[in-house]
Structure 1
Amino acid sequence: MAKPAERAYYRFMVLFFNCMLTFGSYFCFDIPSVLQEQFQGNLTCPNSTVSSGSSNGSECVEGLGMTPQQYNLLYAIYAWTNAAVVIMAGFLIDKLGNRFGVFLFSFLTVLGSAIFALGSHFKGTEYLLPLMLTGRLLFGSGNGSLTIVQNRITAFWFKGKELALAFGLTLAFSRLGSVLNFFLTQRFESHYGMQWTLWGGTLLCVLGFLSAITVSVLDKMGMKQLGLDGTIQEESRKVRVQDIRLLSLRYWLLVLTIMFFYNGIFPFIADASKFIQDKYSGYSQKEAAYIAGAVYDSSLVLSAAVGILIDYVGLRGVFAVLCAVLTLPVFGLLAFTFVAPLVCTIWLGITYSFAAASMWPSIPLVVPQATLGTAMGLATSVQMIGIGVSNLIVGQILGTKNSDAKIPVWRWQRMMIFMLANTISCIVTSAVLNIVDHRQGGTLNRTTKRSAVQNAEVQTDTEPLVNEGEDEGEEDGVNTSSSINAS
């Protein structure tokens, strides 16, 4: 008689709670983007001119009084902390196991979001910025690392089964948190104020922490029933820091490709709502937030389908180049034309979906499986360093004054040119990646056979997920899915 852990319902129950790990944290991450006017608004306003967010720059928006530089620092500190922590986090997850990681990192998201919300109560004091930066620091320590352990859990339970679907659903749940943030946060803030809005985000992170406890229990019980608990622990003890030297040139080119692509995406989303209101006439704060959120809307709708498509088709390296090339027109239109911003954000969301489905899942195809957590952590670290630097540069470009008036269009144009420069760099690195991959066997661009997923069962924990010397029918062993996303 089959044990419960061997049945489909059990792994899908694990998947549900695993998906819920990052739902709340992704909602919290971009709350500042939706409420950018409130974060950068005036400390006080005459009652007759107070606005809860409109396109009219002459109206006063009451808020925390941050400058554009300070506001972008909230995103930069998140990215830098993430960059510093995820390297060690990936190694620790490989060494100490999923259950240790999921508990620790989900707790850090709760603690960080709580301190961030607490900081908003110190409006107009010298404590506001240090508290909010500390909150984002702790939040960043947990959220990126939580995504790594989430991907490892999904890969373990669905290897050789419904892997593409599982990773697609995991990304979709994360994107659902982002989408609901852009749809609901401004409305909630207008009724209950900024402080309660931030505390509401904290409660969603608590939901993620409860899910972490649940998935840990299910994971532990399931592994015992399958008789794998001791085996996994024994393999984890073999992981060493020196294993980083096994990472190939293709891995590093892939990491740079990811970094340059995301350098254009996340800093743009952080400022997109304000950009839309400043450049295009007639958009309220709520409407601008909806349009900015269309990047995530597209990703939510497409992530599972695109992931399954790439699992069938393969050609991950080609898709990486195409994503970068097709993203160029988006920032060009935003910089030099007045094409409807919704067209650009939907377009960006589509290329983002294909990038997430082709770039991140390529990492397990070129590194040994035993060091997957370390490799993912290192890749996330480089990505976050790039995003952090980009956020700082964007803050410098947009200026240091409060945003009670419109930021000049020429400043926004310079920001978009900076996004273009990152996208061009992404095209260069992805093109070189394809050349190197072709010379080393063409692993990333082999066409995939669906039946090859079943071969995953026979690989050992120290083998690369794709063996370059294997025939085409055996190449995509683990076929990691489509939709790993570390951001």
Structure 2
Amino acid sequence: MAERDDTENYISEYEPLQPRVDGASPRPMAAICDPSKLAHRVVVLVFMCFLGFGSYFCYDGPAALQVQVRQDMQLTTSGFMQLYAWYSWPNVILCFFGGFILDRVFGVRLGTVIFSLFVCIGQVIFAAGALWNAFWLMELGRFVFGIGGESLAVAQNTYAVSWFKGKELNLVFGLQLSMARLGSTVNMNIMGWVYGRMESLLGSAGHVTLGVSLMIAGVTCVFSLVCALILAFLDRRAERILNKEQGKTGEVIKLTDVKDFSLSLWLIFIICVAYYVAVFPFIGLGQVFFIEKFNFTPTQARAVNSIVYIISAPASPLLGFLVDKTGKNIVWVLCAVASTLTAHIMLAFTFWNPWIAMCLLGVSYSLLACALWPMVAFLVPEHQLGTAYGFMQSIQNLGLALIAMAAGGILDSSGYLFLEVFFCACVCLALVGVVTLYFVDYVRGGDLNLSASARAKLLKNKTDSE
């Protein structure tokens, strides 16, 4: 009898049981239904990865249909780039409070569903603006879409930590990033075809055709909303079975911490803004650039414009592993920024096949993300990480909004050559920031550029001394 009791105690502790049926003994759950098992976590991971697919798919909808949007809505380039600026404006503020809203107001399950709804509603408003030939309504749609888009990414990361912390977390983050880039890539390469099919069915091009095409793209947002609902159900079920708490972001935002930020951290912020404003706005305007300068067909232009995302999908986890194993983060950031500058110079001043420059840009973009963002954690204590990353994302979105408008104005007044010179200047600013960061870190005896083995030894010494 004692042996049987021990067995039942073991099963109840480690094997969630199916409920009794007609007085029968409880049986262990199948692995795919058991929240403590890898098979079930894989199922959760699938829905987790597709959670942001619709958001990333529709984010670059304007870039995929750049020619059509400008023609059908009769826009200047400056007006067109407002669609990206309006996405960024709400995130200048929400980057600080997205984690707080998830933790303290809605909880990750309800918050994820609400942010997914914002993405869906924003895309519907955006498409309706095209249908009714009301550009102000399209701008409003992008604003609403932006409210949900960035906060949904925070929710996605929260789910990942809740389900995979201490297990396969780094791999999960890599897979989520790959799926996000897949969404952007598919959008870049399929929306032109969708518009063409709608044009054939409706008989002519125009704002109605554009609106219908954008509404079809919104189906991906509905799919992501369904994934959010399924994730909420699975997470609630796991909470009940495993007696685990609902996931939290763990972010603690305290704006007074900003005064304690070091010079090295401010240099990282400058590098971040100066670099990304030369990537995302360029992709937003890239299709027409490749058509006009290199005589590409629209299909070829969309393909080469999306190669940055295509490369980023598999390269991000691989390069992240490389940086983890080697350390020397500042050196890797320097390589990424220098390579990006080389790519923009090639695009601006040569007629070499642009696939070369865009592939180089794709690798550089992936490498910078893997090497730059982790350095924040080396500079600030854990209780300030939420504030530091929130501030970094906030000024990044502010920079993207301002540069998107500036890029449109430069293109309208001076053309693509001057726009590329402007992007080169932005990357040069990032390059100056990296070199300055290297010397500041060296003079102050920092550990930003230590090798992985040296950093591990330093961390061990700090732990032993405590």
Name the TM tier (shorter chain).
0.7 to 0.9
- 1:18 counterpart residue number: 48
Matched, 1:196 2:212: yes
Aligned to 1:278: 292
Closer, same or farther: CA 391–94 of 1 in aligned 2, 3 Å: same
1:423 and 2:427 correspond: yes
Are residues 153 and 129 of structure 1, via their aligned partners in 2, closer, same or farther at CA, if it must alter by over 3 Å?
A: same
Whether contact under 8 Å (1:176, 1:300) holds in the other structure is: yes
Amino acid at match of 1:285: P
Matched, 1:393 2:406: yes
Distance 1:146 1:256, change over 3 A: farther
What's 2:359 paired with? 346
1:228 Cα deviation (Å)?
4.2
Alignment correspondent of 2:83? 74
Deviation of 1:182 after TM superposition, in Å, equals 1.4
The corresponding residue for 1:261 is 275
Q: CA–CA distance in 1 between the matches of 2:35 and 2:260?
A: 34
Tell me: CA distance 1:262–1:446, structure 2 relative to 1, closer, same or farther (3 Å).
same
1:334/1:122 CA distance change after superposition, 3 Å: same
Q: 1:398-431 CA distances to partner (integer Å, 9 max, x unpaired)?
A: 117xxxxxxxxx6211100111111111112223
Q: Structure 1 392/19 Cα, relative in aligned 2: closer, same or farther at 3 Å?
A: same
How far apart are the structure 2 equivalents of 1:100 and 1:175? 25
Q: Would the aligned equivalents of 2:253 and 2:387 in 1 still touch at CA under 8 Å?
A: no
Could you say which residue in structure 2 is the equivalent of 1:411?
415
Deviations along 1:303-356, one digit per CA (max 9) or x if unpaired, are 222222222223223211211111111111111111112211111111011112
- For residues 140-188 of structure 1, the C-alpha deviation after alignment (integer angstroms, 9 at most, x for no partner) is 1111122122223323433332232111101000000011111111011
Q: Residue 139 of structure 2 is aligned with which of 133, 136, 158?
A: 133
Whether the aligned pair in 2 keeps the contact of 1:86 and 1:141 (CA below 8 Å) is no
Structure 2: state its 5+ residue gaps.
Answer: 1-13, 17-33, 199-208
Q: How does 1:134-149 map to 2 (within 5 A)?
A: 134-149=140-155
Query: Could you give the per-residue CA deviations for residues 66-118 of structure 1, whole angstroms, max 9, x where no partner exists?
Result: 11111011111112222232222233335444334322222211111110011
2:251, 2:386 within 8 Å by CA — same for their partners in 1?
A: no
Give yes or no for the alignment of 1:357 onto 2:370.
Answer: yes
Whether 1:168 aligns to 2:174 is yes
Q: CA deviation at 1:374?
A: 4.3
| CA drift at 1:33 | 0.8
Task: Please report the TM-score for the alignment, with normalisation by the length of structure 1.
Answer: 0.79
Cα 1:88–1:418 shift into 2, 3 Å: same
In the alignment, the residues of structure 1 paired with residue 160 and residue 429 of structure 2 have an alpha-carbon distance, to the nearest angstrom, of 32
Greater gyration radius? 2
- Kindly state the Cα deviation for residue 213 of structure 1 after the two structures are TM-superposed: 2.0
Rounded to whole Å, the distance in 2 between the matches of 1:473 and 1:2 is 39
Preserved CA contact (<8 Å) 2:254 2:387: no
| Counterpart-to-counterpart distance in 1, 2:37 and 2:331 | 37
1:290 matched to 2:296: no
3-state SS in 1 of match to 2:279: helix
1:357-401 CA-to-partner distances (Å, cap 9, x unmatched) read 22223334444445544443322111111111111111111117x
Q: Which has the higher helix share?
A: 2
Q: CA deviation at 1:13?
A: 2.8
Aligned to 1:5: 35
Q: Assess, with a 3 A threshold, how the Cα gap between structure 1 residues 370 and 304 changes in structure 2: closer, same or farther.
A: same
Which stretch shows the higher mean deviation, 350-359 or 11-20? 11-20
Q: Percent identity, please.
A: 31
Q: Output the amino acid matched with 1:65.
A: Q
Alignment pair present for 1:379 and 2:392: yes
SS of residue paired to 2:452:
coil
Q: Which amino acid aligns with 2:127?
A: A
Question: Which SS does the other structure have where 1:5 is aligned?
Answer: coil
Matched, 1:111 2:121: yes
1:83 counterpart residue number = 92
Pick closer, same or farther for the CA change 1:238–1:181 going to 2, 3 Å: closer
Cα distance change, pair 368–200 in 1 and its aligned pair in 2 (3 A)? farther
Structure ranking higher on relative contact order (CA contacts 8 Å, 6+ apart): 1
Q: How far 1:467 moved relative to its partner?
A: 10
For the 8 Å contact 1:24–1:207, the answer to whether it is kept is yes
Structure 1 vs Structure 2 CA RMSD? 2.8
Partner amino acid for 1:85?
L
Q: Is the 8 A contact 1:148 1:373 kept in 2?
A: no
The verdict on how the C-alpha distance between 1:148 and 1:472 changes in structure 2, with shifts beyond 3 A counting, is farther
Q: Is 1:446 aligned to residue 450 of structure 2?
A: yes
Q: Is 1:337 equivalent to 2:347 in the alignment?
A: no
Pick aligned residue for 2:233 from 217, 240, 244: 217
Q: Give the secondary structure class of the aligned counterpart of 1:146.
A: helix
